[in-house]
Amino acid sequence: MTSAATSPPTAAVWAIYDLSLPGRGMWLGNDQGELRALDVVVFVAGQPSSQADVFLDGIEIERQWLKQERWRATLEALRTELSSAVDGEVFLRAARRAVWLAARAREGVAPGLIFGAGVAESLAAWLAARLTGIPCAVSLQDDTRWTTKLVSQIRVEALAVRDSSLTQCLNA
C-alpha cells in the first residue's frame, strides 16, 4: 500500500472507502472480488487496510488543500452556494479529499472514473469530478441528511449511481 504522498498506481477506476465510517470495512471486503476483477485502485481513509492500494493520510491531504488555492476557492464558493444542503464539516472533509484526488490525477495518469463507495465518499468523488472533469460514480443508497436538491444534482452529474451491483455501476 502506498501513502497519500506518492502517486497512486495507474488504473481505469479509483474507488474511495472511508474506513472510519460504520460498515465500510465490511463493504470493502464484500467488494474485493469485483474490485480486483476490474481495473481499480482502492483508496482508503480513516485507517490503513491490507485490502487497499493507497491510504489517504490527513497531513498530506491538508498540505494539498493549502497548496491548491484555485481549487480550494472553487470548492469554498460551492460550499457557500450549497448553504445548508450538506453539513459544513462533512463538506470540508470531502473537499479536502477531492483536492488531493484531483492533484494526484493531474500529476499522473488520471483514471477514467472516480467511485465513492458510500455517501461521504461519493461527495468527495463528485467534488473531484467537478475539479477535474473525470466522471464519477456514486453510492447514494444510505440514509443521507443532504437536501433532495443536492442529491438530485449529484445523481444527474454522476455517470452512474450504485445500487446493489458494484460491477454494474463501475461498468456504466
Q: Which grid coordinates belong to 52?
A: 487497499
What is the pLDDT confidence band of residue 101, given thresholds at 50, 70 and 90?
Answer: very high
Which range of 6-10, 35-39, 88-92 scores highest in mean pLDDT? It is 88-92
**Amino acid identity, position 73:** A
Please name the residue that has the C-alpha cell 454494474: 168
Instruction: Count structural domains, the chain.
Output: 1
Short-list 57, 84, 62, CA closest to 2: 57
Q: Does the structure show a pLDDT above 90 at 103?
A: yes
Q: What is the mean pLDDT of the chain?
A: 86
CATH of the domain at 96: 3.40.50
Q: What is the pLDDT of residue 68?
A: 97
Q: What is the pLDDT of residue 136?
A: 95
20-55 per-position pLDDT tens digit: 988 888 989 988 888 888 889 999 998 888 888 888
- Return phi, psi of residue 44, to 5°: -125, 150
Indicate whether 37 belongs to any domain.
yes
Q: What is the pLDDT of residue 37?
A: 85
Indicate whether 169 belongs to any domain.
no
Q: Which grid coordinates belong to 115?
A: 467511485
Judged by DSSP in three states, 2 sits in strand
Indicate whether 172 belongs to any domain.
no
Indicate whether 132 belongs to any domain.
yes
Indicate whether 171 belongs to any domain.
no
Q: What is the pLDDT of residue 140?
A: 81
Section 63-71 average pLDDT: 97
Range of the domain at 38: 2-163
Q: Cα–Cα distance between 13 and 11 in angstroms, integer?
A: 5
Helix axes 148-157, 119-132, angle to 10 degrees: 50
Indicate whether 168 belongs to any domain.
no
Q: What is the pLDDT of residue 47?
A: 86
Q: Does the structure show a pLDDT above 70 at 118?
A: yes
